[in-house]
A and B are shown apart, each in its own frame.
Chain A
Amino acid sequence: MSLRPFLALLLLAATALPADAQLGGLAKKLKEKAAQAAAEKAGLDKATGDNAAKPPTYDDVIVELTSPRVDALLRGLEAQQRVLTADGGIPAILKQREAIEAQLPSLSERANAVSGGYENARNRWSECNSDTRRALEKVHEDEARKMVANMVANPAAAGDRAQRAAGWQQAIAKAIADNDTLGIKKATAEYYKIWGVDLTKDDAAVKAKCGDAPAKPSAMVELDRVSARRDSLDVQARAIENRAVLEGSKASGLTEQQFAMARERAQMAVTGTRTRFSKGELAAIDARKAELLGYLKP
């Protein structure tokens, strides 16, 4: 609360009394003024304790609940509820989710029974894959280094290889920056091709040594599928809820914040908390109380 409005009064008081008394008196007056202002803002008369209806300060968020606004609020609440329950809406999704959740313990058990063996096999294959590729890369690097050395020694024989190599180096750098795994692989293969190294044979070499990647057991695949379905239901439910909030606000003609605040204030009024409302607001709300209670059940 700003103290400036009381400055004139306090200046006057300050000139009349000795210093200590002035400060004590100032402090007391400030405290009383602050308390009274807060009480008034709360809709109370501090001196009398009267809780007669007094409206809040209306602003960008707290809008006056006139009859047209209450109509608008009801339109918004109806639109919101429609979205929440359309085609089964959130309740149907939650029911599906519950059914899925009930399956998960047994699916998890079956998946856990086989996951250890699968993870071990997968790790062994990954290690073989990495080791074999690393060894092949070293061979390729040596080959490319020799080619580059020859090129430096015989520039005329290099032709346009250096230029093409620079182009593919840039492509590799860009693919790395874009986190484009496929792009990196393609650009690297093209780069080595310039030096006569064929990386496409590497895949065949790795497969010959390490075999195919072990297939995920069906129990684990099923668990992944059901978990993903559960998560997608959550995404759907949240999307419906977000849309309901937007539709409610749109149908009411109020901003989202105004709509949320109007809803809360209406809920307070219909459930008996009637302080901080003007008489006009209470009359407007009471006129549509039965309908409001349909959405704002206490």
Chain B
Amino acid sequence: MIRALALGVLLAGDPATLAVRGATGSVIWWRADQAPVRWEQPHPAVSRALHWRRAAPGVEWSELALEAGGEAWRTRVIVARLDPQRVRFDVAWGVDSTARPVWSIADVPAGTRFAVNAGQFTAALPWGWVVSGGRERLAPGHGPLSSVFVAERDGRVYIVDGDTLAALRASSNVAAAFQSYPTLLRAGGMIPEAIRAPCIIDCTHRDARLALGVDATGRVLVALTRFDAAGEALGFLPLGLTVPEMAALMGALGARQAMLLDGGISAQMLVREARGSMRAWRGVRRVPLGLVALGREE
């Protein structure tokens, strides 16, 4: 009977799972066949596995060892959490006079407390709306599964879902903004239908991922996945989670809204430590847009 059951499981195929890996073993906290459609609070197994390190004021970061399916059997997630009460955000424009992307974390100014590549891009330009230094650089793009990260002049940050941005565009309060896609979590932690089974977009492709979200208290969460089977030297190999898995990760981290940024070989992140040294997870290529966090007083 037991043999028959075991064989039955083999024949059926196991659903994709996500587990946190610790000293005492792995704890599965998500299954594709039982995936929640809404994340109302962080997952306790994920929260327990996070040990936040204080970096520069307003910045914390932690690491998570994950097990997922296929190539993502060893995935490390670096999570940064930023307090908009203590940092202000800006978008760094990185397209040079020959239409090439030139931004990377290697070139951020000395006072930068946090930096990450932003948005998506095809050849030269970032996709969608870009406001940098209080000035619009590019008009909004159109796509119902897109979201925009907004930093207002008074420091408030939020994500707006969808592409109806006329009112926002007309506002004089926006200091920095960029669009990206796909939306991973809509307002209230809801996973968009397009990335729930059966997906409308490609939900099976695995890649190094980067996502940005905002939690219930308004803090910004940024999660970067790294391939973890051979140390940091190969961390930026484009192997990692699927889109639904990334949505689940952001929900489990406590995000109420989240969107994917350009992962793969573009993904890169920098955290300035409390003593001023730099912790960097580099990408392979330069990109046209970055998101930086500076001190509120700067």
Which positions in A face B, CB cutoff 8 Å?
1-4, 7, 10-11, 14-15, 19, 22-23, 26, 30, 34-35, 38-39, 41-42, 44, 46, 49, 51, 80-81, 84-85, 89-91, 94-95, 97, 101, 108, 230-231, 234-235, 237-238, 241-242, 244-245, 248, 264, 267-268, 271, 273, 275-276, 296-298
User: Complex Cα distance A240/B285, Å?
Assistant: 22
Chain A residue nearest to B234 in the complex (CB): A275
User: Which of B70, B138, B237 is A275 in contact with, Cβ under 8 Å?
Assistant: B237
User: Which of A11, A42, A230, A267 is B229 in contact with, Cβ under 8 Å?
Assistant: A42
User: Which of A11, A26, A90, A271 is B125 in contact with, Cβ under 8 Å?
Assistant: A90
B10 with A22: CB separation less than 8 A = no
Total count of chain B residues near the partner, CB < 8 A: 42
User: Which of B70, B123, B237 is A38 in contact with, Cβ under 8 Å?
Assistant: B70
Q: A23-B2, A90-B95, A101-B135 given; name 7 further pairs at CB < 8 Å.
A: A34-B73, A39-B73, A46-B229, A80-B123, A91-B98, A94-B137, A271-B284
Which positions in B face A, CB cutoff 8 Å?
2-3, 6-7, 10-11, 13-14, 69-73, 95-100, 122-125, 135-139, 172, 227, 229-230, 234, 236-239, 264-265, 284-286
A14 with B3: CB separation less than 8 A = yes
A-side contacts of B234, CB under 8 Å:
51, 273, 275
User: Complex Cα distance A232/B116, Å?
Assistant: 30
A89 with B10: CB separation less than 8 A = no
User: Complex Cα distance A238/B129, Å?
Assistant: 12
- Which residue, B72, B123, B284, has most C-beta atoms of chain A within 10 A? B123
B139 with A231: CB separation less than 8 A = yes
User: Which of A22, A34, A84 is B6 in contact with, Cβ under 8 Å?
Assistant: A22
- Closest Cβ of chain A: how far from B153's Cβ, in Å? 14
User: Which of A19, A51, A234, A297 is B138 in contact with, Cβ under 8 Å?
Assistant: A234
- Which residue, B13, B99, B264, has most C-beta atoms of chain A within 10 A? B99
B237 with A276: CB separation less than 8 A = yes
A-side contacts of B97, CB under 8 Å:
91, 95
B285 with A26: CB separation less than 8 A = no
- Closest Cβ of chain B: how far from A103's Cβ, in Å? 11
A-side contacts of B264, CB under 8 Å:
264
Given A275-B237, A298-B286, A241-B122 contact (CB < 8 Å): yes
Chain A residue nearest to B3 in the complex (CB): A14
Given A7-B10, A22-B6, A276-B237, A245-B135 contact (CB < 8 Å): no
B284 with A42: CB separation less than 8 A = no
Given A231-B139, A234-B139, A267-B265, A44-B229 contact (CB < 8 Å): yes
Given A241-B124, A273-B237, A297-B100, A38-B265 contact (CB < 8 Å): no
B-side contacts of A101, CB under 8 Å:
135-137
B-side contacts of A84, CB under 8 Å:
99, 123-124
- Closest Cβ of chain B: how far from A272's Cβ, in Å? 8
A-side contacts of B7, CB under 8 Å:
7, 10-11, 14
- Closest Cβ of chain B: how far from A182's Cβ, in Å? 26
A-side contacts of B73, CB under 8 Å:
34-35, 38-39
- Closest Cβ of chain B: how far from A41's Cβ, in Å? 6
A-side contacts of B100, CB under 8 Å:
297
A264 with B265: CB separation less than 8 A = yes
A94 with B95: CB separation less than 8 A = yes
- Which residue, A80, A91, A230, A235, has most C-beta atoms of chain B within 10 A? A91
Q: Could you give 22 example pairs across A and B, Cβ below 8 Å?
A: A4-B11, A7-B10, A14-B7, A19-B3, A22-B2, A22-B3, A22-B6, A42-B227, A42-B229, A51-B230, A85-B98, A90-B99, A94-B95, A94-B99, A95-B97, A101-B136, A238-B125, A241-B125, A267-B265, A271-B285, A273-B265, A298-B285
- Closest Cβ of chain A: how far from B93's Cβ, in Å? 9
